[in-house]
């Protein structure tokens, strides 16, 4: 694996072990390029704004949420390897091929509230193996994130970035529009052991557990790992917040709150993929009571409290809420 390689060359050796795996990653990438182009033209193409209904989670669906979900499912469903897709936008898993061997979880367009303001949004994905043959059912998704074969996200920002792991390191690629390919520029990327950023919706602080509130006070003190107050950075787009912290070092928190006792973020297609990317880069991901990748989901849209980022900052957090 080397800098400058395209997606296929970069992952070829690792994906060869699992039939159909690369076809899924390649299809996600092709659809992401299509969506990125659409997003750049969104203001003229009548795809900004609300679709005028709510999803299964009671959240307002944006037109781009729908477009991303439909295109991803159309293209994934055409692959024989894909048995089923669990999407944030669909109440139940969409079942495709009973001979398929792979399950895909996705948040087709994360950060919807930032669509209209041109702040990075993205697609998060997780690919899991099936553990049985024959007719596929939604319960097959209820397995821990430690079983993920691959995870990652596409970030639709000024550039189209892909962060991906297939269980052998985390890699960062950027789409080169001239070459029409994703090119690797950070192979086996590492999250700095510590940084100076904490990211949280601090407006909810008074609703958070007491230990988290004490940690947030600590972040503002000179007792931190840097000996100075940390900087608060939060844009409310998980991919953007995670990506910045991954590169610079930092900790992202979405704790439980009085109104959302399990936090807001969903295990299968938000937390577990981010946790795998972080762990593969030397970072840590925690629910407040255990490793994110060990949680066995009970429902496909299950939420978990989520803490992810630099290893030493996570250890520091654990002294407050462990």
Residue number with CB closer to ligand AHM (7 or 121): 121
Residue 110 interacts with Mg ion (CB under 5 A)? Answer: yes
Residue 241 interacts with Mg ion (CB under 5 A)? Answer: no
* Three-state secondary structure call for residue 303: strand
Q: How long, in residues, is the chain?
A: 322
Residue number with CB closer to ligand AHM (238 or 304): 238
The CB-of-184 to ligand AHM minimum distance in angstroms stands at: 25
* Three-state secondary structure call for residue 134: coil
Cα(113)–Cα(49) distance, integer angstroms: 9
The CB-of-88 to Mg ion minimum distance in angstroms stands at: 5
Residue number with CB closer to ligand AHM (26 or 202): 202
Query: Which phi-psi region, left, alpha or beta, contains residue 93 (left: φ > 0; alpha: ψ -120 to 50)?
Result: beta
87 binds, options ligand AHM, Mg ion, none, Cβ within 5 to 8 A by partner type: none
* Three-state secondary structure call for residue 217: helix
Bridge partner list, 160: 156
Residue number with CB closer to ligand AHM (106 or 189): 106
Bridge partner list, 303: 266
Strands (E), 130-265: 150-156, 160-165, 170-176, 181-186, 197-199, 231-232, 250-254
Residue 104 backbone dihedrals phi, psi, to 5 degrees:
-120, 130
What six digits make up the tokens of 196? 């100076």
> In this structure, are residues 127 and 25 in contact, taking their beta carbons and an 8 Å threshold?
yes
The CB-of-88 to ligand AHM minimum distance in angstroms stands at: 6
Residue number with CB closer to ligand AHM (14 or 110): 110
The CB-of-156 to ligand AHM minimum distance in angstroms stands at: 13
Residue number with CB closer to ligand AHM (130 or 303): 303
Pick the stretch among 22-30, 71-79, 103-111, 139-147 that binds Mg ion (CB under 5 A): 103-111
The CB-of-256 to ligand AHM minimum distance in angstroms stands at: 12
Out of 65, 89, 107, 316, name the contact with Mg ion by CB under 5 A: 107
The CB-of-223 to Mg ion minimum distance in angstroms stands at: 34
- Point out which residues bind ligand AHM (CB under 6 A): 59, 88, 107, 110-112, 201, 236-238, 264
The CB-of-264 to ligand AHM minimum distance in angstroms stands at: 5
68 closest CA partner among 124, 108, 118, 128: 108
Cα–chain center distance at 301: 14
264 binds, options ligand AHM, Mg ion, none, Cβ within 5 to 8 A by partner type: ligand AHM
199 binds, options ligand AHM, Mg ion, none, Cβ within 5 to 8 A by partner type: none
> In this structure, are residues 107 and 270 in contact, taking their beta carbons and an 8 Å threshold?
yes
Cα(38)–Cα(45) distance, integer angstroms: 8
Residue number with CB closer to ligand AHM (107 or 140): 107
Residues that bind Mg ion in the complex, under the rule CB under 5 A? 107, 110
């Amino acid at each position: 694996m080397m800098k400058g390689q395209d997606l296929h060359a970069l992952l070829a050796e690792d994906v060869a072990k699992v039939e159909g795996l690369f076809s899924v990653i390649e299809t996600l990438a092709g659809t992401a390029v299509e969506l990125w182009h659409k997003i750049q033209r969104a203001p003229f193409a009548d795809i900004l704004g609300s679709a005028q209904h709510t999803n299964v989670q009671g959240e307002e669906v944006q037109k781009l949420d729908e477009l991303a979900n439909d295109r991803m499912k159309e293209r994934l469903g055409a692959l024989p390897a894909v048995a089923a897709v669990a999407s944030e936008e669909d109440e139940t898993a969409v079942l495709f091929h009973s001979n398929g061997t792979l399950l895909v979880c996705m948040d087709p367009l994360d950060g919807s509230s930032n669509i209209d303001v041109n702040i990075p949004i993205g697609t998060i994905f997780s690919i899991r193996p099936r553990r049985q043959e024959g007719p596929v059912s939604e319960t097959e998704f209820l397995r821990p994130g430690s079983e993920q074969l691959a995870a990652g996200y596409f970030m639709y920002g000024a550039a189209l970035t892909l962060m991906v792991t297939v269980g052998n390191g985390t890699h960062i690629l950027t789409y080169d529009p001239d070459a029409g390919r994703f090119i690797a520029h950070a192979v086996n990327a590492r999250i700095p052991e510590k940084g100076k950023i904490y990211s949280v919706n601090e407006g909810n602080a008074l609703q958070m557990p007491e230990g988290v509130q004490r940690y947030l006070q600590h972040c503002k003190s000179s007792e931190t790992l840097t000996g100075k107050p940390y900087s608060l950075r939060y844009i409310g787009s998980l991919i953007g917040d995670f990506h910045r912290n991954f590169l610079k070092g930092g900790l992202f928190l979405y704790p439980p709150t009085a109104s959302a006792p399990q936090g807001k973020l969903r295990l299968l297609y938000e937390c577990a993929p981010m946790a795998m990317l972080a762990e593969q880069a030397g970072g840590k991901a925690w629910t407040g009571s255990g490793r994110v990748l060990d949680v066995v989901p009970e429902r496909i849209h299950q939420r978990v409290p989520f803490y992810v980022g630099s290893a030493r900052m996570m250890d520091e957090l654990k002294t407050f809420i462990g």
